[in-house]
């Protein structure tokens, strides 16, 4: 298996230290340091991407399971139940991202629906949606590997 995380860390170290390219002036060194930082950010994202997507997909599915019992639209309730019953079919990032995109699209429809509901259940689901969106942003926090 190719250790992409390790390769990106070596690349970042080589760029920052001048092992790969000698900077001619402060501007070039600053540019190399920026590229090194970007490589480390990519390494950190690769290191946790699958975990983040699986966690988020699972949280969205749980939310959909709760929401299916509350929404007034039977077609939407069916979509929510179907999505809630799904599981990860692969740990490939491309597959997880595609699933996440579909779940987020359904979340948008759910959010629009519950915003128009003036019921305790609708308000509860809307609050849960906002809470999950906050957690989603927290999951995207940039962290350097190490």
Residue 140: both structure tokens together: 């995207």
Token pair in block for residue 71: 């929404």
Kindly state the average pLDDT of the residues 31-43.
81
**Are the beta carbons of 18 and 59 closer than 8 angstroms?**
no
The single-letter DSSP state of residue 116 is: T
pLDDT at 82 over 60: yes
Query: How sure is the predictor about 70, in pLDDT bands with cuts at 50, 70 and 90?
Result: very high
Buried/exposed 38-62: b ≥16 CB within 10 Å, e otherwise: ebbbbbbbebeebebbeebbebbbe
Tens of pLDDT, residue by residue over 90-105, are 999 999 999 999 999 9
| pLDDT for the residue numbered 23 | 66
Domain boundaries, the chain: 4-139
pLDDT for residue 11: 79
CB atoms within 10 A of CB 66: 14
């Amino acid at each position: 298996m190719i250790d992409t995380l390790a390769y990106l860390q070596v690349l970042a170290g080589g760029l920052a230290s001048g092992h790969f390219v000698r900077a001619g002036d402060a501007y070039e060194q600053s540019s190399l340091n920026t590229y090194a930082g970007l490589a480390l950010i990519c390494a950190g994202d690769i290191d946790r991407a699958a975990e983040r997507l699986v966690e988020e997909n699972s949280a969205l599915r749980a939310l959909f399971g709760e929401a299916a019992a509350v929404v007034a639209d039977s077609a939407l309730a069916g979509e929510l139940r179907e999505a809630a019953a799904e599981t990860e079919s692969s740990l490939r990032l491309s597959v997880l991202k595609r699933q996440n995109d579909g779940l987020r699209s359904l979340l948008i429809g759910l959010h629009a629906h519950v915003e128009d509901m003036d019921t305790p259940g609708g308000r509860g689901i809307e609050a849960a949606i906002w809470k999950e969106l906050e957690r989603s942003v927290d999951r995207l926090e940039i962290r350097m590997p190490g």
